[in-house]
Every structure is written in structure tokens, then in C-alpha cells.
Amino acid sequence: MSSSKKVREGDDALAKAEKLLTTTMFRWSPDYMSASPYLEKAAEAFRAGQALDRAAKTYVRLAEVQHKNGAVFRAAMHMETAAKIHLQYAPKQPQPAMQYYQMGSAYYSEMGELGKAAEMLMKGAAALEAVGVSDVKHMYLEACDLMETQDKPHFAVDVFRKTAAFLVKHKDYADAVVNYERQVALFRAMGQKENMYKSFASIIVLKCAMQDVIAADQAYMTHLQDDGFLSSDECALSEDLIGALKRSDDAQLQVVLKKPQWQYLDTCIGRLVRTLSLYGGAKPPSSAPTSAAKSTSFPPSTQRTQASLPTTASVGSSTAPAFSFDELEFSSSPVVDTAAAIASLQIATPATTAPATTTPSAPTTTTTAAAAASAPTQHAVEEDMFDLT
């Protein structure tokens, strides 16, 4: 069946419903009971005919009629349907859809179904976030209030955790701390000590994320009043985290943040703790190495000392290392040791540099001849000295 035909059917059904809702001389009050089926038929026809704007408005009218007729539960359901259809054809105009979700939640609250009322708000907040709306914080907080009023903590935990995840995602850490403090009360009422200690650690992480280590330390000391918290893993994690931040020890902080126990907290807190640093969540500044840092440098005093040291000439080379007594091997006889020292001194005696002449080969010949003449003399001295022994 074509969409135009469906739209015509919707128009016919809507006309009949409006006729029943109009007062006349013989009908002093609207006939909500008889008009409801026609409105429902018209809304479904408009939806099938892709006239989504008219379908959403008809569902809203149907919800109002059913609410006046006493069918509050169905009125809330139709309000939710109207909100979904509105987001389909007008996602850039989400305000009417937000009002429809809030009206549906109010209908459930009127019935005393606080859990369903909170669920309606949570669904609405998630749907609005999906189309890019971020101003849904009041819907999450209202859902938490409804669940807290219901006095059923077992059912309230999930709502509080989803709200905390939203607050941490949008960096609203102050309200997230309040949320976890309310969770502590819920877990205490249920007797769930382990989850209560996780909430303690989450509060400390949030205060550290707010760059308020003093407040985190104060919260830690307050939580120590619970005897069981002192022996828990969450207490050790909190103590190590606060200690690393107070000492500004980045190396120790990285060790603490890599501990696997963080994954047992809520997912949003586990992700947040990995972003903590000594620099307010930013990465620490890294100094880039320069080419000058790679080369070995000496202080000026050392350089001047090295420049003033005389260089010694050795046979067959222009330069030779300075003489060192550490290279000598001493024996049991002082005479032998003295002879060896004299021989070493003669070998390492600096050679005089011949004056420059026009002939380039003259210095080399003189040096070679001097070396040849001095070699036998040195050996003779060594032999004579050893003969003395």
C-alpha cells in the first residue's frame, strides 16, 4: 500500500477522533475512551506512510488522551514512542524529544513506578547523547534521585554507575565525587564492603584528577576510619598514588598507575587513572637531545690544564705519550730498579726540533741519525747497570 494511501487513512481516523473529543450540545465532555482507538490508528498510519512529524504529534495527543482516560501506563509508552520518532526526523531539534521523555517519566512516577521512571530518563539521555546532545546531565541526576527515593539500593546501583560514567566522561569530577559518595551509602546499606572500598578509591582518584592532592589525602584519612579499608587492596593503591603525587616522584607514579588492581574499579575510573600525571593530566615535558650533548665536554679549567701540558717526542714519531712510573715493573733490588728508571727516562727524553730549512729532508735525517746513535748507548747503560748487580 502506498504511503499516500496510508496518510489518507490516518487523516480519516484522526478526523473521527477529533469529532469524539469535541463537545456538542448533546455531548458535554470529550469521549476519551472512544477517541483513543482512532488516535492510535491514525498514529500508526502516519508512521507507516513516513509522515513522521504527524505521527509524533499524534502519539503525543494519544498519550494525553490516555492519561486523561486513566491509562497512565500506556500514556507513558506512547510518549516514549513519540520521542523516538521525533529524533528520527528532527535530530537537530532535540528539545521536544527531551520533553516527551520527561513527560513519560512523570507518568510513571505518577503511578508509583519510580524504577520505570528512572529507566525512561536513562533511555532518553542515551538517545539524546546518540544524536549529539550533551546537556542531559539533569536527566541522569533526576534518575538517581528517583532510584534513591525508591529505597531499593540493589536496583539503584546500575543507574548510579551509568551516571558516574557520564560525569567522568564530561570531566565533571565534582559531581562525580558526590555520586560515588552516594554509592558508598548504597553499598553500606546493602553490606557490600568490597564495593564500598572501590568507591573510596574512586573518590580519591577523582580528587587527584582535580589536582587537589590535599583533598585526596584528607579523604583517604577519613576512609581509614573504616577498619576493613585499611587491609584492602584499594587502600594500598590509594596510599601509593597519594604518596607518589605528594613526593612529585614521576617514576614511582608510573609504577603505581600500571598496577593491575585498577582494572577492578569502574571502567570510567580505570581509564581516568591512566591519564593522571604530575603535570595536570598532560604528558611531562621531554628535553630533546642536542648534538652538543652527545660529545664529551670538559670544564674550562681542565681544558687549560691539558693545553699547558708539554708533549714529548719519541723516536720515529712527532709526538709520544708522557712518561709514567706506573708502567715500570719493580724488582727486589733497588739498584736494578734505579737502572730501569734511568733507561726509561732516557728513552722518553723530549727530542729537540731542528730549525726549519729549505731542504725538507734534513730534519728527518738528523732525527734518524740521532736515534741510531742513541740506541747503542742506551743498551750499554742498561748492560752496565745490570752488571753491577
Instruction: Identify the top-confidence range among 135-144, 333-342, 353-362.
Output: 135-144
Q: Which range has the top average pLDDT, 186-190, 306-310, 362-366, 380-384?
A: 186-190
Is there a domain that residue 250 lies in? Answer: yes
In a domain, 361, yes or no: no
Residue 234 lies in a domain: yes
User: In sequence order, which residues have a C-beta less than 8 Å from that of residue 259 and are 6 or more positions away?
Assistant: 237, 240
Q: What is the mean pLDDT of residues 22-33?
A: 82
Q: How confident is the model at residue 382 (pLDDT cuts 50, 70, 90)?
A: very low
Q: Which of 332 and 342 is assigned the larger pLDDT?
A: 342
Residue 328 lies in a domain: no
Q: Which domain holds residue 166?
A: 152-282
* Residue type present at position 311: T
Cα separation, 238 vs 257, whole angstroms: 11
48 has a pLDDT exceeding 60: yes
Residue 82 lies in a domain: no
pLDDT of residue 318: 41
pLDDT greater at residue 160 or residue 303: 160
Report CA-CA distances (Å) from 321 to 205, 306, 313, 315, 342: 64, 13, 8, 12, 17
Is-above-0.75 flag for pTM? no
How many whole angstroms separate alpha carbon 68 and alpha carbon 175?
A: 38
Instruction: Assign 320 a pLDDT band (cuts: 50, 70, 90).
Output: very low
Most confident of 222-236, 327-341, 346-360: 222-236
Q: Return the CATH number at 270.
A: 1.25.40.10
DSSP state of 99: H
Tally the domains of the chain.
1
DSSP string of 177-189?
Answer: HHHHHHHHHHHHH
Residue 367 counted as domain residue: no
Q: Would you say 20 and 62 are in contact if contact means Cβ atoms under 8 Å apart?
A: no
* pLDDT tens digits, one per residue of 94-145: 999 999 999 999 999 999 999 999 999 999 999 999 998 989 999 999 999 9
pLDDT band at 240, cuts 50/70/90? very high
- 358, pLDDT greater than 50: no
For 38, the grid coordinates are 482512532
Backbone angles phi, psi at 312, to 5 degrees: -105, 145
Q: Measure the N-to-C terminal CA separation of the chain; round to a whole number of Å.
A: 131
Residue 247 within a domain: yes
C-alpha span between 71 and 306 (Å, rounded): 101
- Note whether 150 and 114 are within 8 A (CB): yes
pLDDT of 214 reads 95
What region, left, alpha or beta, does residue 289 occupy, with left being phi > 0 and alpha being psi -120 to 50 degrees?
beta
Say what the pLDDT of residue 152 is.
86
What is the chain's mean pLDDT, rounded?
Answer: 79
Of residues 190 and 300, the one with the higher pLDDT is 190
Provide the 10 A C-beta neighbour count for residue 44: 18
Which carries the bigger pLDDT value, residue 150 or residue 64?
A: 64
pLDDT of residue 208: 95
CB 219 within 8 A of CB 207: yes
pLDDT range class, residue 281, cuts 50, 70, 90: very low
Q: What is the mean pLDDT of residues 65-79?
A: 94
Q: How confident is the model at residue 275 (pLDDT cuts 50, 70, 90)?
A: very high
Q: Tell me the percentage of the chain whose pLDDT exceeds 70.
A: 71
Residue 201 lies in a domain: yes
DSSP labels for 216-267?
HHHHHHHHTTSHHHHTSHHHHHHHHHHHHHHTT-HHHHHHHHT-GGGGGS-H
CA distance 344 to 323: 8
pLDDT at 344: 57
Alpha helices in the chain (DSSP H): 3-21, 32-48, 52-69, 72-89, 95-111, 114-130, 137-150, 153-169, 173-190, 193-209, 213-223, 227-230, 233-246, 250-257, 267-273, 291-294, 300-308, 334-347, 362-388
